[in-house]
């Protein structure tokens, strides 16, 4: 499908696509769909050639899947494979695209802003830079549940202030995922302190099994190096609007788009605001285009979202296609 045609198709719909980030990977992802649609493995072959190693093998075997430099290109490729299958089956082009963290790159590939080849190279580098920015074991992330955004931010500031002003002793809000759900990131010891204080305020705190403290100031060294790679990468404005993580807004030029991708490494993901933007624009149906259903489940909690679908298996994909095509008036 041409980029122009894709953009035209997306104008009048009430549907948005959500692309998941790191943490949604699972061994054997898309295996059943690959048996039915040749495009799944073709997409993985395209991405594998760009990197020089077999991403499909990693996805199916799980070997090295938990290594950030592998996780990111595998997830991006899986999301784009699902996107292509959706379009192949006549699925409606959504009005907006939004990706959570790494998923923003999937959204940009789907929107024809960059090629899959360039994107997998970028996120492979992104993963390496993120991993090398903080020594293993020194960074951490945790989900804080049941407290307001303001309460979590205040706890982070309290603990960081007590530790000192230098960046290595910081803990910050990293993902504003939903009302009452904020992920924090930073120095492992300080993350643990915030978790303890959150529990004392009747909140819940869950340590996340990650090796990199994403979306906090500890990632600034990685962002500086990553900005150089972004400048070398051909990027165009998306043909379907992409809501960016750092400001829950749509870039009006490529410079803004690049700046937002750089800042995304060390600034929080504004997912709550992004989802509110979708609702304000009349979006009523969302499709999570990637492995799992974390983003679809978050969307189901929103008052204006009528249906939220994962599409990572054949039955889920068929269900989403049927319901959305009827809802959008494309079939009776």
In 3D, which of 141, 135, 146 has the Cα closest to residue 156?
141
Q: Which of 101, 106, 187, 274 is catalytic?
A: 101
Distances (CA, A) of 75 to 105, 186, 223: 10, 24, 21
Contact assessment for residue 311 and residue 20, using Cβ atoms and an 8 Å cutoff: no
Q: Which of 187, 215, 217, 274 is catalytic?
A: 215
In 3D, which of 172, 167, 180 has the Cα closest to residue 155?
172
Q: How far is residue 97's CA from residue 301's CA, in Å, rounded to a whole number?
A: 19
Residue 57 bears catalytic tag:
no
Q: Hey, is 203 helix, strand or coil? A: coil
Q: How far is residue 114's CA from residue 246's CA, in Å, rounded to a whole number?
A: 19
Residue 215 bears catalytic tag:
yes
The H-assigned helical ranges of the chain are 3-9, 31-36, 38-51, 55-61, 68-88, 103-110, 116-133, 149-163, 188-200, 220-231, 254-263, 271-280, 294-300, 314-327
Give the catalytic positions in this structure. Answer: 101, 215
């Amino acid at each position: 499908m041409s980029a122009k045609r894709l953009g035209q198709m997306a104008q009048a719909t009430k549907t948005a696509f959500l692309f998941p980030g790191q943490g949604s990977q699972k061994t054997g992802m898309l295996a059943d769909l690959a048996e039915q649609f040749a495009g799944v493995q073709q997409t993985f072959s395209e991405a594998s050639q760009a990197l020089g190693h077999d991403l499909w093998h990693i996805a199916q075997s799980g070997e090295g899947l938990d290594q950030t430099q592998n996780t990111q290109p595998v997830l991006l490729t899986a999301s784009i494979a699902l996107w292509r299958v959706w379009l192949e089956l006549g699925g409606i082009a959504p009005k907006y695209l939004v990706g959570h963290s790494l998923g923003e790159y999937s959204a940009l590939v789907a929107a024809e802003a960059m090629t899959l080849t360039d994107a997998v190279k970028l996120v492979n580098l992104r993963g390496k830079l993120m991993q090398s920015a903080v020594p293993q074991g020194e960074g951490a992330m945790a989900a804080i549940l049941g407290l307001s955004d303001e309460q979590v931010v205040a706890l982070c500031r309290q603990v960081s202030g007590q530790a000192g002003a230098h960046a290595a002793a910081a803990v910050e809000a990293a993902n504003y995922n939903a009302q009452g759900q904020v992920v924090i990131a930073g120095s492992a010891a300080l993350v643990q302190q915030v978790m303890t204080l959150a529990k004392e305020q009747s909140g819940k705190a869950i340590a996340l099994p990650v090796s990199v403290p994403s979306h906090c100031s500890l990632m600034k060294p990685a962002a500086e190096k990553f900005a150089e790679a972004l400048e070398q990468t051909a990027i165009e404005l998306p043909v379907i609007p992409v809501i960016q993580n750092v400001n829950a807004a749509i870039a009006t030029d490529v410079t803004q788009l690049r700046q937002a991708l750089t800042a995304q490494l060390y600034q929080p993901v504004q997912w709550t605001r992004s989802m509110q933007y979708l609702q304000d624009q009349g979006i009523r149906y969302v499709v999570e285009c990637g492995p799992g259903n974390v983003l679809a489940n978050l969307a189901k909690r929103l008052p204006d979202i009528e249906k939220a679908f994962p599409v990572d298996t054949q039955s889920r994909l068929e269900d989403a296609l049927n319901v959305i095509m009827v809802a959008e008036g494309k079939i009776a």
